Structure 1
Amino acid sequence: MARERSQWQEITSANPAHSAWYIERFRTMAEQGHDLDGEARLVDAMVGRRARILDAGCGPGRVGGYLHGRGHDVVGVDVDPELIAAAEQDHPGPTWLVGDLADLADDDTDLSSRGITEGFDLVVCAGNVMTFLAPSTRRDVLLGFRRHLREGGRVVLGFGLGRGYELADLDADVEAAGLRLSLRLGTWDVRPFDDDSDFAVSILVAAS
Structure 2
Amino acid sequence: MSGRTPSQWEELTAADPAHSTWYVERFRTLAAEGADIVGEARMIDAMLARGSRVLDAGCGPGRVGGYLHRAGHTVVGVDVDPVLIAAAEQDHPGPTWLVGDLAELDLPSRGVAAGFDVIVCAGNVVTFLAPSTRAAVLAGFARHLAESGRLVVGFGADRGYEFSEFLADAQRAGLVADAQFSTWDLRPFTGESDFLVAVFSRAE
Q: TM-score, normalised by structure 1?
A: 0.96
Q: How many residues align?
A: 203
Report Cα offsets for 1:144-187 as digits up to 9, x if no partner: 11101111100000000111101111112111111111110000
Aligned to 2:29: 28
Q: What does 1:43-192 align with in structure 2 at a 5 Å threshold?
A: 43-104=44-105, 110-192=106-188
Q: Which consecutive residues of structure 1, in runs of 5 or more, have no partner in the other structure?
A: 105-109
Distance 2:115 2:140 in 1: 11
Alpha-carbon distance between aligned partners in 2 of 1:167 and 1:20, rounded to the nearest angstrom: 30
- Cα offset, 1:44, TM superposition: 0.2
Superposition CA RMSD, Å: 0.9
C-alpha separation between the residues in 1 aligned to 2:121 and 2:155? 9
Partner of 2:42: 41
Structure 2 residue runs of 5 or longer lacking an equivalent are: none
Q: What SS does the corresponding residue of 1:205 show, helix, strand or coil?
A: strand
Percentage of identical aligned residues: 65
Preserved contact between residue 107 and residue 114 of structure 2 (Cα < 8 Å) = no
Measured after TM superposition, the shift of residue 4 of structure 1 is 2.0
Q: Give the CA deviation at 1:201.
A: 0.1
Deviations along 1:114-145, one digit per CA (max 9) or x if unpaired, are: 10124100000000000000001111001111
SS at match of 1:152: strand
Offset, 1:113:
1.0
